[in-house]
Amino acid sequence: MYDFGTLLDDDRYSGIFLSFTSNDYARLALEQLRWPGGAVCCPVCGSDRPIYRQNRKGVAGYYRCPAPHTDKSPKGIGRPLVFTVRTGTIMERSHVPLSTWAYCLAIGAFAKANHPKRTLALSASKLALQIDVNPKTAASILRSLVSVRPVPS
């Protein structure tokens, strides 16, 4: 599973992510962090086959790995995998917009950098007010951010 732990430990990115109001800009920035140099690879198999860009219902940011993936398909039939920058991350299967996730990653990076024990000193109710979601969603986001560990260098 890819995590953005290095992002949470580097407060250089805070100002960048706090400025995102568009999901497209947030998606492009997260793709640049996840796949530096633009070399997109499959999050499941790491295939070196060519990865194809796709639009789904007019929305950019989808990729297709042509390698057969039997674990994601019924009856064990190998099918190509369609994935996004969210696949295999704490953002997977979340309906929260990417711009909101980027904002939360920036807040998490800032909070961890400025807190003496390098933990998130932020309540779910305060975060819910800042990002305009209900407190349960904010609590879920905070749990996800706390679960992120830095990637060993």
What does the pLDDT look like over 33-74, one tens digit per residue?
888 888 899 988 888 778 999 999 988 999 999 888 876 555
Q: What is the mean pLDDT of the chain?
A: 79
Q: Which of 25-29, 111-115, 136-140 has the lowest mean pLDDT?
A: 111-115
**Complete DSSP assignment for 99-137:** HHHHHHHHHHHHHHHHSTTSS----HHHHHHHHT--HHH
**Owner of token pair 């250089």:** 12
Per-residue confidence (pLDDT) for residue 14, from 0 to 100: 47
Question: CA 44, CA 66: separation in Å to the nearest integer?
Answer: 12
Q: Which helix (H) or strand (E) holds 80?
A: strand 79-83
Mean pLDDT in residue range 2-24: 57
Residues 6+ apart with CB under 8 A from 104: 127, 131, 141, 145
pTM of the model: 0.76
**Is 80 exceeded by the pLDDT of residue 113?**
no
pLDDT tens per residue across span 85-108? 999 899 999 999 999 998 888 877
Q: Which one, of 106, 129, 117, 138, lies nearest residue 7 by Cα?
A: 106
Kindly report the length of the chain. 153
Q: Sheet holding 79-83: strands in order across?
A: 52-56, 59-69, 79-83
